[in-house]
């Protein structure tokens, strides 16, 4: 078992975050939904495959040859499993030798997609035990005040199946003693399970784009791609434009450099 309480571990990462749809087929109480409001079914939007693959390719080129770092491509939404071309996007990122992560309620896990994914962040577990056999990586769960009472059950479910579990302490509830106690009790109770913990806390290196911003947020250094094919270096500010060139990727990276 390894314990990691480190909010700075990813402070220099620059990722590509693709919100492939704003739709979802569930209403999970611990959903992160990546800052998107859930629309009605007739208002669901899906990211264009050609746009997605072009941005993935340009981003990976930029990371490999300019930043000299391994690309990290994350797929979320909404529920990415609703996108009929999701597996093609995953395969495209995989063939660029990127680290591929999917945030899903479980719908995105299938025999085609699983071979292209390095890490699953799944807001689902014991209700779908038959799908456990499809998982080829670690599971991640953000621990909030609301779901803390169920952490023991989650740890037992995954641990008994030899699936690594990473518990993230939610940064909005980071000082809640019930959350800390639930995680510590869980780690002590199951010493033979692979349970890792990490604080998601607010990072200090707020960038140029964060200047004069009062929103509570982690410094999410990424180029965000939205379901309507617009992009932005910030998921919360309404600074979006259509993707044109790799220059925008470089500009997004520069926008996250720490303030002097």
Domain membership of residue 7 (yes or no) is: no
Domain membership of residue 73 (yes or no) is: yes
pTM of the model: 0.82
Token pair 């930043």 is found at 67
240: domain range? 15-146+200-255
Domain membership of residue 36 (yes or no) is: yes
The pLDDT score that the predictor gives to residue 1 is 39
Number of independent structural domains in the chain: 1
pLDDT 10s digits, 148-203: 888 898 888 888 888 888 887 766 666 788 888 888 898 899 999 988 887 665 55
**187 in Cβ contact with 195 (< 8 Å):** yes
Domain membership of residue 151 (yes or no) is: no
Domain membership of residue 181 (yes or no) is: no
> Greater confidence, 249 or 254?
249
At residue 2 the predicted structure's pLDDT band, cuts being 50, 70 and 90, is very low
pLDDT 10s digits, 209-252: 777 777 766 656 889 999 999 999 888 766 789 999 999 999 99
Percent of the chain whose pLDDT exceeds 70: 75
Domain membership of residue 183 (yes or no) is: no
Residue 41 belongs to domain with CATH number: 3.20.20.70
């Amino acid at each position: 078992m390894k314990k990691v309480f480190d909010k700075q571990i990813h402070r220099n990462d620059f990722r590509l975050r693709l919100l492939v749809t704003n739709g979802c087929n569930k209403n999970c109480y611990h959903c992160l939904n990546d800052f998107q409001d859930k629309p009605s079914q007739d208002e669901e939007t899906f990211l264009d495959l050609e746009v997605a693959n072009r941005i993935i390719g340009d981003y990976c080129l930029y990371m490999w040859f300019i930043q000299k770092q391994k690309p990290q491509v994350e797929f979320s939404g909404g529920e990415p499993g609703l996108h009929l071309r999701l597996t093609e996007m995953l395969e495209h990122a995989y063939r660029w030798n990127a680290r591929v992560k999917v945030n899903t309620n479980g719908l995105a896990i299938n025999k085609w997609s699983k071979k292209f994914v390095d890490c699953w962040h799944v807001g689902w577990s014991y209700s779908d035990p038959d799908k456990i056999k499809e998982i080829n990586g670690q599971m991640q769960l953000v621990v909030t005040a609301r779901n803390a009472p169920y952490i023991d059950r989650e740890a037992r479910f995954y641990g008994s199946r030899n699936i690594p579990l990473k518990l993230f302490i939610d940064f909005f509830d980071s000082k809640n003693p019930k959350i800390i106690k639930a995680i510590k009790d869980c780690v002590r109770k199951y010493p033979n399970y692979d349970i890792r913990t990490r604080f998601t806390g607010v990072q200090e290196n707020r960038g140029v784009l964060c200047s004069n911003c009062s929103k509570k947020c982690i410094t999410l250094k990424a180029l965000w791609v939205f379901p309507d094919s617009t992009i932005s270096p910030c998921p919360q500010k309404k600074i979006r434009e259509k993707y044109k060139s790799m220059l925008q990727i470089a500009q997004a990276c520069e926008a996250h450099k720490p303030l002097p």
